[in-house]
Amino acid sequence: MKHLIPYLQDDQKAADYLRQLRWPHGVTCPRCGSHAVEPRERCDNGLQRFNCVHCAVRLGQQFAMFTDWTSSIFAESKLRPLDWLLVIGLWQLKLNATEIAAAADIQERTAQRCINLLDGGIYETYHLDPTRQLEDQVEADECYQSAGSKGLAREVERHERAPRQRGIQLRGRATAQTGRPPILGLVQRRDKLDQDAPAAQVSLEVLENVRTATIKPIIAAKVKDGTQFFTDAYNIYHFTKVDYDHRTVNHGAGEYARRDPDGTCVHCNTMEGIWSGLRNFLDRFKGISQRFLHLRVARYEFLHNYKHLSWGQTFEATLQCVFSTTGDYLRRMAHQHRRMPLTLCYR
Ligand SMILES: [Zn+2]
């Protein structure tokens, strides 16, 4: 947090710092993109107001005002800039709402809204970014996370079904319907010969089920053609041998790692390590709801992929990311009772 101390004095300083991260090349109008903006008086909470000359002319008005936060995910927030700075700093320490509320001295419900906003912003801009692809050597694996309808008790009644079964494993692969949504993990192995290589890049996707039809469009979108692709012998991955150099280890036969004649190490151990990190992280959100599971998983994915950065660099990367979204995803999600279907994201 040392990095933030100079800005943690008052709301104006905090607002100035956040503005410079949102517009590193100078303030532009969020409506028309024009640089012809003039600063006006500040808001009570320290945010700077601006008048866009271009929009004022266009709309035939004397002024066309906007603030530091217009059209950003913070636009409707009542939290002050200083509090936001603190909350974001705590967010990247992988804390849950209770811990953030205590550390930032805000209400727990407010902290909950804040983390949903930040996780949602990261999901929309970082997780769904179509340009972020994995290559070279990629491992794929799936795990199952217990998640219920917590916080939505009526949801259980609406489905006219019994609460999800706990404890006893049902036969067959778990699905979202049975209360254990699968998560597909894809990880690009870190280049060990390159000292400056970033952390092993990972992509994590919460699924309804693990059928080939579900995972095929995701793998096609996230993994470049020609990649070496490592999985266990589970048959849902068989289709990947068309586009990738697909190699399998047979966990069923007790085989966990092997060196092929061409020197390639065939295993899924990188992904196994990431699963244990993810489980540790998700354990902090006791009884996580299916509605928010994919948002928490997106936070873990983001923070894992920026692991090689310093705390301050991660802080700035987070803000640049959430400032590039308008919060559309979260607004649409608010009208859905369940997680948004993946078909909206991948084709
Ligand atoms: Zn404008």
What's the gap in Å between 221 CA and the centre of ligand 1?
35
Give the distance (Å) from ligand 1 centre to CA of residue 52.
5
pLDDT tens string 47-65: 999 999 999 999 999 999 9
H helical segments located in the chain: 11-22, 53-59, 81-91, 97-104, 108-122, 153-158, 212-222, 269-282, 290-305, 311-323, 328-334
How much distance in Å is there from the Cα of 317 to the middle of ligand 1?
26
Query: Residue 22 C-alpha to ligand 1 middle, in angstroms?
Result: 16
* Ligand 1 centroid, distance to 68 Cα (angstroms): 13
Q: Which amino acid is at 313?
A: Q
| pLDDT > 70 in the chain, percent | 89
pLDDT of residue 216: 93
- Report which of residues 311 and 153 the model is more confident about: 311
How remote is the CA of residue 36 from the centroid of ligand 1, in Å? Answer: 8
3-state secondary structure 169-208: CCCCCCCCCCCCCEEEEEEECCCCCCCCCCCCEEEEEECC
Q: How confident is the model at residue 291 (pLDDT cuts 50, 70, 90)?
A: confident
d(CA 230, CA 219): 12
Its sign, for the CA torsion 125, 95, 309, 11, is: positive
The alpha carbon of 90 and the centre of ligand 1 are apart by a number of angstroms equal to: 34
Q: How many Å lie between the centroid of ligand 1 and the Cα of residue 323?
A: 18
Per-residue model confidence (pLDDT) at position 86: 92
Residue 106 has pLDDT above 80, yes or no: yes
User: Is the CB of residue 80 less than 8 Å from the CB of residue 45?
Assistant: yes
The mean per-residue pLDDT over the stretch 151-174 comes to: 54
pLDDT tens digits, 107-128: 999 999 999 999 999 999 999 9
307 — pLDDT class (breaks 50, 70, 90): very high
Phi, then psi, of 53 in degrees rounded to 5: -65, -45
Q: How far is CA 161 from the centre of its chain?
A: 31
Instruction: Give the pair of three-digit tokens for residue 168.
Output: 């006893």
Instruction: Give the per-residue pLDDT at 50.
Output: 97
pLDDT-derived band at 156 (thresholds 50, 70, 90) equals very low
Q: What is the pLDDT of residues 1-37, one digit of tens each?
A: 767 777 788 899 999 999 999 999 999 999 999 999 9
Quote the CA–CA distance of 182 and 176 in Å, as a whole number: 7
CA of 324 to the centre of ligand 1 (A): 17
Give the model's pLDDT for residue 207: 92
Does residue 150 register a pLDDT over 80? no
Q: Tell me, in angstroms, the distance from the centre of ligand 1 to residue 260's CA.
A: 60
Q: 311 C-alpha vs ligand 1 centroid, how far in Å?
A: 35
Instruction: Give the pLDDT confidence of 236-272 residue by residue, as tens digits.
Output: 898 988 999 999 998 888 888 889 999 899 999 999 9
Ligand 1 centroid from CA 59, angstroms: 10
CA 247 to ligand 1 center in whole angstroms: 54
CA–CA distance from 70 to each of 40, 81, 214, 219, 335 (Å)? 15, 13, 37, 36, 22
How far is ligand 1, taken at its centre, from the CA of residue 23, in Å? 15
Burial class (CB in 10 A: 0-12, 13-18, 19+), 168: exposed
**Higher pLDDT pick, 290 / 221:** 221
pLDDT band, residue 162 (cuts 50/70/90):
low
Residue 200: Cβ-neighbour burial (10 angstroms; 0-12, 13-18, 19+): buried
What is the CA(67)–ligand 1 centre distance, in A? Answer: 12
pLDDT at 189: 93
Cα 334 to ligand 1 centre (Å): 29
pLDDT at res. 345: 59
Q: How far is the CA of 28 from the centre of ligand 1 (A)?
A: 8
Sheet holding 37-42, edge to edge: 37-42, 48-52, 65-67
> What spacing in Å lies between the alpha carbon of 65 and ligand 1's midpoint?
9
Question: How far does the centroid of ligand 1 lie from the alpha carbon of residue 35, in Å?
Answer: 8
Average pLDDT, the chain: 87
In the chain, the amino acid numbered 257 is A
> 11 C-alpha vs ligand 1 centroid, how far in Å?
25
Instruction: Determine the straight-line distance between the first and last CA of the chain, rounded to whole angstroms.
Output: 41
**Cα of 99 vs its chain's centroid, Å:** 20
Q: How many CB atoms lie within 10 A of CB 144?
A: 17
The Å distance, Cα 54 to ligand 1 centre, comes to 5
Phi and psi angles of residue 310, each rounded to the nearest 5 degrees, phi first: -75, 170
> What integer is the mean pLDDT of 279-283?
93
